[in-house]
Amino acid sequence: MQTQFVLDDVVTVIGPDGVADPATDPKLPGETVVKLFKHMLLTRQLDERLVLLQRQGRIGFHIGSLGEEACILGPAAALGGDDWLWPCYREFGALLLRGMPMQTYLDNMYGNANDAVKGRQMPDHYSGRPYKFGSVSSPIGTQITQAVGFSWAAKMKGDKSVSLVFFGEGATSSSEFHNGMNFAGVYKTPTVFLCRNNGWAISVPADQQTASQTFAQKAFAYGMTAVRADGNDLLAMVKVTRDAIERGRNGEGPTLIEALTHRLSGHSTSDDPKAYRNEAEMKAEREKDPVPRLRAYLVGLGLWDDAQESAWAEQVDGEIKRAVETAEKTAAPALHTMFEDVYATQPWHLAEQQAEAERAPRPAGHGGGGGH
Amino acid sequence: MPQMNMVQAVNDALRLELKRDPRVVLLGEDIGKVGGVFRVTQDLQKEFGPDRVIDTPLSEGGIIGAAIGMALYGLHPVPEIQFSDFIFPAFDQIVSELAKFRYRSGGEFPAKMVIRTPVGGGIRGGHYHSQSPEAYFIHTPGLKVVCPSNPYDAKGLLLASLRDPDPVLFFEPKRVYRAARSEVPEGDYTVPLSQAKVVRPGQHVTVLAWGAMLYEAIEAANQAAALGVDSEVIDLRTLWPVDIDTIIASVKKTGRVVVVHEAPKTCGFGAELIALINEKAFLHLEAPPVRVTGYDTPFPYTLEMDYLPLAGRILPALVETARY
């Protein structure tokens, strides 16, 4: 498998004319692609709204996926119902696709009393156990080793589930990447490593993360299958992830996928890319946007038109508005929740500190987080 | 009842739990075929197979990161860190991930495991085979920290830790791995977490110690008795959450306290214990609380016995505190 890998090979399905290459086409039913395209539009619409809410000071932070929707939703769509997804922090679109209601996500953005993580983390640090979706933390790469451990446990127990773990190209510089890849290689765990190479780790370009020609080739050192794919092509991402999941399920071990994509925004709402990006380059990247790419494919097949798109946008807009309104009206978590879940049962010192907090004057809260 | 040393007692607890609970998985460097560099896991791989007692690549971060994934799946991993001096490559996984998983996920993802690791000096190990890093972990909300001093407690505390729903750092004092022997029941029993033990009742001064230094504290207490100082020695056993009631009851009785630990003095666990005593028993104190600890230097090789808070250094602290 490894010897077939050619550095210049990038799996692509949808050509510039919007037509799928029959050699690589995952041949999804038209209605499935429409559903995924609608979800892609929803993800982007929500993304843009969240940036606006942050600019208005209504939420503290947002870390979005503008331009990376195809390589987040494609892999998520390739997962089976028993498979697990271990997020980095840009995968809210995948979380919604896996079934988290919009309201639950917005409650997380507001850190309110209905937030699944009880307002304990910054916005976009969600947790989705009911959707077989991990818990987000900020340290880079830690989820990689955990996903390997999880899928290793599944393999030990004879469970056929596969774990898909997301990370950016910057995370390949972390010790966690090495640890996870190495353990996965040695124990042939059913893990799919999904490296979204969006070109930038905050302000540091990909060529300063590695002297390797590609990120994918790092897999060879771990005795692992590697593949590069056009990360702006949703069908290509479905195809390569589906193949990798299949290999994992069949006991053929892990795969590293390098998805080539572009970050069409700053790192997060706390970042201003003008300091390190040039406009011409960004303009060229916007022309490779995954949304028009998939739209052209669907329009070509007669499965999508402008009327459908504007009706969908209106529907999503209403849904977002209602969820925002409800999230804003929901109270902050009660003070005592700060002292719960540190341990399974509350030890004496936390009971004391909770009592102390309950006696203390309440400061004016900000109800949202800062950012990085 | 059989006599065991601590190595045998820990091995016995692990065997018992591997047999009882199919979710238990041991992983670490050299723990399988060779049974660990201290032979604590001797023969367990032979008995339970390489899928339950796993020799891993040489990567502490990988061991703990993978163990967290196993725990999220529902297994009960028991990773071994070969020496607690080598735990730092896994520090991020322990502090940022393991300790916070239950909390940060709103209770969706509890991650339970027992990290076993030999601790402490006095074995001619120099900087990197001798340290006592417990304070870093006590300082991290979400972790429990245990350190037995004898084989009976080692088995009972380990079984209690293995059945506890929270992540536990289980520090095994390697200086007394084989030196400490006691009667250890063959079957199942637990020593509850967060319960200290008064190992030598006394009236004049309270001595708080744990692990290998407990023996030094007892030795100093016996010598002090000849000088008319009656010391009450308490083995904390669980460092966090600590058994505050036993400590405060003793200090209220004696009015005097000496804390002994191997770790460096500054921001060591002794500082926290004395702060708690000040908060809860200040008006009962008859003398300034005293710490007898390792010095604020890296752990030395040749001069390690001067560095350690051995009985010779504890004795004057007991006498001076009692006579203050």
Task: Tell me, yes or no, whether B119 lies in a domain.
Answer: yes
Same domain, B135 and B209: no
In the prediction, which pLDDT does A368 show?
43
**With an 8 Å Cβ cutoff, are A183 and B59 in contact?**
yes
Q: For domain A2-334, which CATH number applies: 3.40.1180.10, 3.10.105.10, 3.40.50.2300, 3.40.50.970?
A: 3.40.50.970
In the prediction, which pLDDT does B1 show?
86
User: How many Å from the N-terminal Cα to the C-terminal Cα in chain B?
Assistant: 44
Joined together, the tokens standing for residue B160 give 């209690």
Task: Of A5-19, A288-302, B7-21, give the lowest mean pLDDT range.
Answer: A5-19
User: How many Å from the N-terminal Cα to the C-terminal Cα in chain A?
Assistant: 40
Contacts of B59 in chain A (CB under 8 A): 178-179, 182-183
* Chain B interface mutation, best of A138, A342, A343, highest count of B Cβ atoms under 10 Å: A343
Same domain, B89 and B34: yes
In the prediction, which pLDDT does A6 show?
56
* Rg, C-alpha atoms of chain B: 19
Joined together, the tokens standing for residue B246 give 């036993």
Average pLDDT of span A120-143:
97
Same domain, B100 and B210: no
Give me the residue spans of the domains in chain A.
Answer: 2-334
Q: Where is the domain boundary, B183, B209, B225?
A: B183
Same domain, B52 and B109: yes
Instruction: For residues B40 and A11, give the distance between their C-alpha atoms in angstroms, rounded to a whole number.
Output: 50
Q: Where is the domain boundary, B183, B213, B248?
A: B183
What's the total number of domains in chain B? 2
Predicted confidence band of residue A105 (pLDDT cuts 50, 70, 90):
very high
What residue in A sits closest to B25 (Cα-Cα)?
A: A153
**With an 8 Å Cβ cutoff, are A180 and B65 in contact?**
yes
Instruction: For residues A39 and A128, give the distance between their C-alpha atoms in angstroms, rounded to a whole number.
Output: 18
> Among this protein's residues, is A276 annotated catalytic?
yes
Same domain, B260 and B307: yes
The yes-or-no verdict on residue A7 having pLDDT over 70 is no
Task: Tell me, yes or no, whether B192 lies in a domain.
Answer: no
Per residue in B111-128, pLDDT (tens digit) is 999 999 999 999 999 999
Q: How far is CA B298 from the centre of its chain?
A: 20
Task: Tell me, yes or no, whether B189 lies in a domain.
Answer: no
Per residue in A132-189, pLDDT (tens digit) is 999 999 999 999 999 999 999 999 999 999 999 999 999 999 999 999 999 999 999 9
Q: Which domain holds residue B132?
A: 3-183
Q: Which residues, including other chains, have CB under 8 Å from residue A90's CB and lie 6 or more apart?
A: A63, A64, A65, A68, A72, A166, A168, A196
In terms of C-beta density within 10 A (0-12 exposed, 13-18 middle, 19 or more buried), how is residue B139 classed?
Answer: middle
Joined together, the tokens standing for residue B284 give 């009962």
User: How many beta-carbon pairs under 8 angstroms link A with B?
Assistant: 139
Question: How many of the other CB atoms lie within 10 Å of CB of A361?
Answer: 4
Per residue in B252-294, pLDDT (tens digit) is 999 999 999 999 999 999 999 999 999 999 999 999 999 999 9
Instruction: For residues A145 and B236, give the distance between their C-alpha atoms in angstroms, rounded to a whole number.
Output: 34
Q: pTM here?
A: 0.96
In the prediction, which pLDDT does A2 show?
46
Same domain, B163 and B293: no
**With an 8 Å Cβ cutoff, are A145 and B141 in contact?**
no
Helices (H), strands (E): how many in chain A? 12, 9
Among candidates A142, A146, A342 on the partner chain, residue whose Cβ is nearest the Cβ of B142: A342
Q: Where is the domain boundary, B161, B183, B205?
A: B183
| CA-based nearest distance A61→chain B, Å | 17
CA torsion sign for B306, B310, B312, B314 is positive
Same domain, B12 and B123: yes
CATH number, domain of B291, equals 3.40.50.920
Same domain, B155 and B241: no
Angle among Cα A136, A141, A145 to the nearest 5 degrees reads 95
- Which residue in A194, A78, A87, A70 sits closest to A140, CA to CA? A87
Same domain, B179 and B277: no
Average pLDDT of span B26-39:
97
Whether the Cβ atoms of residue B9 and residue B151 lie closer than 8 Å to each other: yes
Same domain, B269 and B224: yes
The yes-or-no verdict on residue A16 having pLDDT over 90 is no
